[in-house]
Structure 1
Amino acid sequence: MAKRRNFSPDFKARVALAAIRGDGTIAELAARYQVHPNVIGNWKRTALEGLKTTFTRGGSRTDRGHEEEITRLQAKIGELVVERGFFGQGLRSLSVDRRRSLIEPEHRRLGLVRQCALVGIARSSFYYRPVGERAEKLRLMRTMDELHLSCPWYGSRQMARALRRMGHRVGRKRVRRLMRVMGLRSVAPRPNTSRRAPGHRVYPYLLRDLAVRRPNQVWCADLTYLPMAHGFLYLVAIMDWYSRKVLSWGLSTTQDTVFCVHALQEAIERYGTPEVFNTDQGSQFTATAWTGELSTRGIRISMDGKGQWTDNVFIERLWRSLKYECVYLQAFADFGEARDGIGAWVSYYNEQRPHSVFDGLTPAEVHAGVQRLDRAA
């Protein structure tokens, strides 16, 4: 099979011009330039049509119009690129569930694959539906939570040994992973095997020699794991150190900083600002979003020593009471039940549950400044 010849634009123009000038017949030109006669005829017609366009009135204005149109379209493309980048930046701050809700499977002009690309998720993520935790795993995690309350010095090794003695077939690696998920940390001192995240400052403990004599002088906060019938949640609480009153609290399905900051803002809106705020060294409380909220309001920041659970002992005791008096007894089925049940227990704890340290007064009464409880003669 003969190989197809390719001719340069200059060669085509020279042959077409020869045909237009009549330098020879088409057959003679074909023999001279070694080109098929039909090809020379096509080049001649193309050249004549190009000449007509060149001399058409207003042709230059048409070219200028085309250039202006190209410039306008290029500017529009640049705007769309910038807007898409801005749109993508904003979407990345949303959760995957929120971005998934923006997709319209029945959209007439945008297919599902294109919509998934625009919101920054894989197509498989759109079809994914979370699977609930296995009952056996949830029972194991609840047992671990109970063991941590009774033996807070247990690390992953000792926790695994205790669980095996109770009949659970678990290894240390699985226990360590579940403890990390649950946010459980041994209170026993241990080597500093981890580094703080860049930019996360750890503050000194300020309560060691501080006499706390009034409400709103010192606040504290902590995060804990809550088992449920079909999963688990995380609870944060803000407590007044002097009166033991729970000032605000929040629930979340993840250990993030956002819901902790929301609880802090709610407490400040309702009760003003304390002089000192104490927490542990968890990543939620060393994050800039949390410490910045305190610093901008002039609140001094205090943090427990590493592994020193007694530095924040009052809120640790709150978790023990909450779990044994509420969470373990009710076995919440979902987020709504947990929110309502914990809300009812916190109201009971603040308003009705007498505290032995305060001679029978409730935390709410101590926080309000009640000095003693009037008893009937």
Structure 2
Amino acid sequence: MARPSKYSAEFRSDAIALWRASAGRRTFKDVAADLNVNPETLRTWVRDADGRSASAGASQDTEAELARLREENARLARAEKGMAVGAGDPASGSGVFRPGDEVKTAAWDFVSAHAEMFGIKRKCRVLEVSRSGYYQWIAGAEARAGRQFEEDALVEEIREIHAEHRGNYGVLRVHAELRGFGHSVNRKRVARLMRKHGIAGRHLRKKKRTTIPDRLAPPVADLVQRDFTASTLDEKWCGDITYVQVGAAWLYVACVIDIRSRRVLGWSMAPHMRAELVIDALQAAVVTRGGDVTGVIFHADRGSQYTSAAFAQVCDLHGIRRSMGRVGSSYDNALAESFWQGMKRETMHQRVFVTMSQARLEIFRWLTYYNARRRHSALSYLSPMEFEQHHHKKAKLSLAA
């Protein structure tokens, strides 16, 4: 009898959709790295799904989603650098028709261009610029050209990083990415170039309340007390529920985060907020950690899902110690709240999802990207999975010593 897979049917389905959405632009190895699965495992899932699709017929919803993605990719490919995507006007901050160009360098350019006709001395006197300054400017022309070439190359690399991370990275993460590539570049320089060329990260939007407390639920102590730090992995977890608008409906997402590494260990998505939503996310986290999580503290708000008897039973089964903040205090679960803000800022910027499959794919894509590649400010700008790899390496070296 075949051994049951540690990956849920929900995860496999979303992984297949993520691979198909890449439309051949990414290899199995690249997608599998974000998913933290073996490339051959992903290849098998896709092959099996393709076999089933051939007999059952392609899903109309999937085809519509693929068509939308192809159209969006084509539109992005057509967009000119420095231009707002989908618009005919220059993007904000692109420098077109900007006043203030009447500076000394422009005057020296004019002197240089008309030196043979009018003479340098006369032109400098008429324009009221220093002749010695002009000669210094001429002497530094080669150096300026070299610096400009380096700056243009740096701006191009910043654009590539910004585009690769789908416009989500701001100055700090772009700077960390450049340093990760071996560049010794000042953060203020990166900020200046991004501001000059109109390159900016995402910004927050307003949020909506989703926590509905159960006043009759038995009390649970707050074992975290707003201390969102941990000395090791699987010491403290936290979780929460958020919502995503899909047309006129809602898709709800639950997650479980390791407070030490900020890694999303488990998640679940459904068009409801019943207790099974948070139970599925917790069980996925347990599987991610190999099944033995005895003693870990799980912190959440006092929503009815987390105070339910069914959720308490699952926690007891795995030896998980429950912890809850106060009713109506977002600061008591600030880490999870901050995580949701980042996800919404980077997946829902100026858009509303039309279909559930579209929303699931985008959120699944971001969650796997967040774990594998998104640099985190609380982790010295490592991704959560990179941080865990460093953590395990240090632990092995300590044991060897």
The bucket for the TM-score relative to the shorter chain is 0.3 to 0.5
Q: Which structure has the greater CA radius of gyration?
A: 1
TM-score after normalising by structure 2: 0.43
TM-score (norm 1): 0.46
